[in-house]
Structure 1
Amino acid sequence: MISISFSLDRSIEIAKPIEEVFQFVADFNNWRSWSAWIIQEPQCPVTIEGEPNTQGHKQTWDGDLIGKGSISIASLFENQYLDFDLHFFAPWKSHSKTQFKFSPIEMADGSEGTSVTWAMQGSLPVFMFFFKKMMTAMIGSDYERGLAMLKEKLETGSVTSAVDINGVSEQKGFYYIGYPVTCHKKDISQKVSPLFEKLCTADLPKPDKVLTVVNKFDMVSEQCDMVVAFAYPNKPDFTVPDGMIMADMPNHQALEVLHTGSYHHLSNGWTTLMCYLRHAKLKANKRLKEYEVYLNSPAEVPSEQLKTAIYAPLK
């Protein structure tokens, strides 16, 4: 069958010596702690074979949400690179090559650090040419999530992110007032945090909810169009301040995913939400916006205890 090739890579800097980073990544026994896929389905059965840091070391997974597959070390050069063979068996069959490349760097404080690059090369059937940009964007996002958790695990000893799928429930409608913002995904924290501070110091009644409504997110360009807002059960009878907008969300059914942990890892919750929609064959209501509700705040609890409920309205 004629196919079209694709490739992608993502990189991150880790404040640990290259020997430590290489040994950690070369051992599949460590992958569960930072896997961008296992975090979506923590109960997924995983089998590990062979000796870590050796050719043939292998991990096999058999999930419902994340599918079935295996990855094994094809070749390696200590403290420089790891080459992997990656096979998917379900929900579709495919074979790809992936690599980790490691380079020593000096961190800003003068300590030893490591630049880690995660890359993939594969192919798609020619009739799926239209899906190439979307697929590389989705896998690239997964690699970014995984690298961020790998960095946190190595630098701090833990990962402040956990995801629970709470299922479908009825949600009461609400009105929301807030600041619109459009930005690239990598700039969300920089753009949104000041708007929340501005919102909290505005002369507004105490809200029923604090949330962000996602008007649009383009997976390929990674551009976000959102509203940082306060929500009220009834239509507000006060004047909307300059620079803010008001809109409403009617009563609706929604799939809910709960993310516990740092806001830096919220994409783990969003990715799980979208994967479960496809897995459970649920149909999103395109007329209504997806949104996330902050159940507590950094002023109240440490980052590992932050709770964010993420909702996808359904038909």
Structure 2
Amino acid sequence: MPLRVGYVREHFCSPLLQYEADDKGKTFTLVECPSGTGQLISRLTNDEIDVAIALTDALIAGIAKGSQAYKLVGSYVNSPLKWAVITGSGSPYKQISDLQGTTLGISRYGSGSHTMAYVMALQQGWATDQLKFGVNNDIRGLLDSVNDGSTSAFMWEWFTTKPFADAKECRFIGAVPTPWPSWLIAAHPERASPAELTTFLASLTLYVREFQKPESRAGPSVEFIKKTFGYPEEDVKAWLQTVEYTSDCAQIHSEVLKRTLSVLEQAGAVTLQEGEKISPSQFVNKDVATLITPEEEEHH
């Protein structure tokens, strides 16, 4: 049985799509999850997918809150994600500070749009336990909610939503970059064997390396994204200048776990019991992934 790999159809998944086109379903099939990371996690839980390429913060928060449905098996994108703060085209909100005390739109609880609302609140100095949310499932539901006034704003990746802002369907009133690398890879601990996962990650690494070579970024990668997603060339080039993929999909850096957990705890998105020590092996499937410590990092 080929692995069932859940993904969000965005420009970030371009190397994965190139891999799939060559693999033709031999080792894996793709399962699209348009609602984002919250949907990916629920599909892992419900035995609808075996592997997920999803947002770092939501994956780590899920395990910290006790999910047994997956462990981390690798890394995908090392650069931060730029989240746009998005409001309705005719709404009264002009800047992020105007949103205090309002109802924020999220795709679902446990999603990136949910955890990043806490990070934004932390940056703004708002009480995170006062945050109010409206669940709107996907990008279309979120856009409708800011335009009908049922929510004040929502957060989504900048370049994915820029076409909606260009079309005057919404307005950007700010941006919040993630304080951590943006995408990790998770898998159910029993449904996919270490050998299958190792093969998948090794091949994905080759496509990621090819995609981000300087000569690929100068032409083929731009063309692929334009053709696949229909984004304007200047947006694609601007994004490619900011993104940095991992050099090895089967490695996870222990500092990423620590830093992400620390910010999520400060933001109130994750609550650890007093004195509770989080061990990296709680999060990582070491039969598949190599955990890189800061000491090892110095020798690389």
- Class of the TM-score when normalised by the shorter of the 2 chains: under 0.3
Q: Compare the two structures and name the one with the higher strand fraction.
A: 1
TM-score by length of structure 2 reads 0.27
Please tell me whether Structure 1 or Structure 2 has the larger radius of gyration of its CA atoms.
1
